[in-house]
Amino acid sequence: MIAGFPGSAWSMDALVIDAFEFCRLKEHRTGKIQVADLPRLAQESVGQAGSVDWSLQGGYSSRGHPQLVLKVDGSVRLMCQRCLTPFDSTIDSGATLVLAPDEGSADEMDAMLADENVEVIVGSHEFSIAELVEDDALLAVPLAPKHETCPDQLAAPLPEGEKKPSPFAVLKDLKKS
């Protein structure tokens, strides 16, 4: 289920806006999308569990260009590449996107702005918020997801006063055998 406004269910088509008009009117929208409803993100996840909350604010940059400010939060279930067990990964991402009317203008604007915190994209009159949210969530997902500490690697603490043997000492003992 995709939600866009409180108390309403939306389809993917309802998450299409005129990006330039959205910025001109300085509109603001929020919503929640289930991972299962975002096909590329669902493909990266385990079991398609989780959801992402999003917020989109239209307006203008300090140079007068149409601008979207996107915030994406949520969680997705990923497979740990170290221990091969699933875990919940948090998504906390955002982007400032300046809109250009076409590719040529986008390249010029990007060179002119030279700001790593701002991305220049081609806007349209049929702009998909869902695709924008999915793109941002995918960029926030690690390439090689891992637990901070894998559950099966939690070692019992050594008795007080005992030191962990050096790996080199262990190899030396193996060589003697």
Question: pTM for this structure?
Answer: 0.74
Which pLDDT score, from 0 to 100, does residue 1 have?
40
Which pLDDT score, from 0 to 100, does residue 162 have?
63
Q: Indicate the pLDDT class of residue 12, thresholds 50, 70 and 90.
A: low
Of 136 and 170, which is predicted with more confidence? 136
Per-residue pLDDT tens digits for 112-159: 887 778 888 999 999 999 999 999 999 999 888 888 888 865 545 556
CA dist 47 to 18, 50, 79, Å?
A: 33, 9, 10
SS3 content of the chain, % helix, strand, coil (to 5): 30, 35, 35
Per-residue pLDDT tens digits for 90-101: 999 999 999 999
Q: What is the maximum alpha-carbon separation in the chain?
A: 78
Which pLDDT score, from 0 to 100, does residue 163 have?
67
Burial group, residue 165, by CB count within 10 angstroms (0-12, 13-18, 19+)? exposed
Per-residue pLDDT tens digits for 25-51: 999 999 999 999 999 999 999 988 889
* Cα–Cα dist 91/59, whole Å: 24
Q: For residue 93, what are the β-bridge partners?
A: 72
Q: Where are the domains of the chain?
A: 2-176
User: Percentage of the chain with pLDDT > 90?
Assistant: 48
